Amino acid sequence: METLEVKAGIDDILKKYPDAERDKLILILQEVQEAVGYISKEAIIRISEHLRLPASKIYGVATFYNQFRLSPIGKYHIQLCRGTACHVKGSKAVLDKILQYLKIDAGKTTRDGLFSVETVACIGACGLAPVIAINGKFYAKVTPDSVIKIIEELQKGV
Ligand code: FES
């Protein structure tokens, strides 16, 4: 269920593209995500009506590009750097451990709404590799074990 503000936000974006066709779909999805934080079912329906395209097509595009989120971010949003320096220092193992522990895929949010995980390109802190950011706070030189301790601490603080 979306708030009136969210609906108005989506409508405002669509109004900017009165005669838009399929070629504007990515742009519209990007703007909606920036304004609302994710691509909701309601947004997909409204975009599909506006562009006169089947909702299944909009959904297909939104799921194809991993820049789009289909659920709201969690209370704790974990961004894991997959840049080269972090990769060389083991970011993949850290990512795998986080996803396994939280039982979600990258780009998803836990059922309780507490955690969401996103992989990002270099966040400019290569000297701290491998690095994650949680709600914008950086954690340096994380390991598969240390990252679980960080998550557990956040869970305890709930
Ligand atoms: S590669 Fe991870 S911060 Fe630069």
Unique residue bearing structure tokens 């961004």? 79
| 10 Cα–ligand 1 center, Å | 34
Q: What is the mean pLDDT of residues 67-91?
A: 94
Residue 60: closest CA among 36, 106, 26: 26
Give, for ligand 1, the residue of 79, 80, 81, 94 to mutate: max count of ligand atoms closer than 8 Å to Cβ: 81
C-alpha 55/C-alpha 64 separation (Å) is: 14
- Confidence band for 58, pLDDT divided at 50, 70 and 90: very high
139 CA to centre of ligand 1 in angstroms:
12
Displacement of CA 120 from its chain's centroid (Å): 10
Q: Check residue 65 and give its pLDDT.
A: 87
Say how many Å lie between the CA of residue 131 and the centre of ligand 1.
Answer: 7
Question: Please, which residues have CB within 8 angstroms of residue 49's CB and are 6 or more apart in sequence?
Answer: none
User: How much is the pTM?
Assistant: 0.75
pLDDT at 6 over 80: no
Where does the pLDDT of residue 20 fall: very low under 50, low under 70, confident under 90, or very high at 90 and above?
Answer: confident
